[in-house]
Amino acid sequence: MQKTLLFNNYELKTTDGGPSGLLAQNFVNADSDLFFVNERMVTIPENRVTKLTRKIISIPKCKPLFYDVGLSKTSKFADWIYSAQCIYKNVNASYYPKIVFFDVFQLTACLPLIPKNQVVILNPVTPELASSETAFQKDNFTEDDIIWSKKAEAIAFERADILIFANEGAKKINQSLINNKSKIYYLHHGALQITEDRIIPLDESNINLLYIGRRIPIKGFDIILDAFKQANLINSNINLILLGNGQRINGKNIYDLGFSSTPHLWIKSVDYVINCNRQSYFDLSVLETLSVGTPLLMSATLGHELYKNFTSEGIIDIGEPTVENLKKILISKNLKKKKDNCIAVNSNISLFNQYFTRERSIMQFENFLKEL
């Protein structure tokens, strides 16, 4: 059987979320006879002027022209589109009978190059529609970009022969774009198990809580912050540690560390990780947390509804992602130090080993390809 190409134009990092982290943790360098992830094979100078049609002397082996996908000449998507088209050509992607995209924009970018008989598989891994994410970042994108992103995601779903979602809850995110012709498969990814032996020495007198990720409404960051501040007035024995880029947050018992290249150390060292998403796809940070047993306070929304099917004393369901629901948990007397929470820790590790390892993810994906 000829291999399936898992298309990549990301700078892959295991510390990333989204497609970059998913590919890095699950599929890169997998010893598989059925699929492979291409190398990025492109360099775009940061100081160049973005245009739809021009010579780029710093990118080898690639026709120095954009294939038109309806973008305006001032689009901030232009570099992304160019890199996708360039890589598609450099890796001879049209040679492969089946190709998997993890991003609607990279699929739309490559459409002018994709043969009609190539089976296109789309696995969108965002907690909301890609166009909604673009619209939320309106300070970074033009109005034309926002309009194009909406058209692009519709075009991508229209071209996809097969759609992959982590589960039925994750499918609901993209329900408005799904047409009757696409076949749908449910495959949840896994994660690399955190094997770090080191522990960060933290305040032993307080319960240490960790939020990791983007500080945006879809991730419930505002809920976590408000709930913690209110709870801290009643229960001063809790600390909130923040990891990730964003405006610096100050407050009593709040420790904003900004970006960290070693989030796994913090995940392992704290007493709880908080995940209060308004909408969820299937967060890698949750899987990484399970891998070391750290208990989770989480809202089981959409893609995370799957966790309701499992029994683990290390997953505390917040319920609906609201300030009041999270506050009730934070002021309760049931929170424990991780070292005193062995049943919960072991339960999470057992759940991870049974369902969410990289090895199981690879096996599941290979079985899917065999079925095709």
Domain layout of the chain by residue ranges: 4-190+358-371, 207-355
Residues 359-368 pLDDT 10s = 999 999 999 9
Rounded distance between C-alpha atoms, residue 289 and residue 296, angstroms: 8
What is 297-356 written as a DSSP string?
EE---GGGGGGGGS--TTEEE--SS-HHHHHHHHTSTT---GGG-HHHHHHHHHHHHHH-
Residues 275-321 pLDDT 10s = 999 999 999 999 999 999 999 999 999 999 999 888 899 999 999 99
Q: Do domains 4-190+358-371 and 207-355 have the same CATH topology?
A: yes
CA atoms within 13 A on the CB side of 292: 25
Does the pLDDT at position 351 exceed 90? yes
Total Cβ atoms within 10 A of residue 269: 19
Counted residue by residue, the chain has a size of: 372
Domain 4-190+358-371 has CATH 3.40.50: yes
3-class secondary structure, 240 = strand
> What is the pLDDT at residue 365?
97
Average model confidence (pLDDT) across the chain? 90
Residues 36-55 pLDDT 10s = 999 875 444 443 333 333 33
Residues 11-26 pLDDT 10s = 888 888 899 999 999 9
Under the banding of pLDDT at 50, 70 and 90, the label for residue 58 is very low
* Mean pLDDT confidence for 157-166: 97
> What is the pLDDT at residue 330?
97
> What is the pLDDT at residue 284?
93
Joined together, the tokens standing for residue 187 give 């495959």
Looking at CATH, the fold of the domain delimited by 207-355 is given as: Rossmann fold (3.40.50)
* Mean pLDDT confidence for 88-102: 95
169, exposed or middle or buried, with CB in 10 Å at 0-12, 13-18, 19+? Answer: buried
Q: 48, 43, 28: which is closest to 86 by C-alpha?
A: 43
* Mean pLDDT confidence for 206-231: 96
Q: CA 311 → CA 194, 264, 305, 319, 344, distances in Å?
A: 22, 24, 13, 15, 10
Place of tokens 């917040």: 318
Does the pLDDT at position 251 exceed 60? yes
Global pTM reads: 0.90
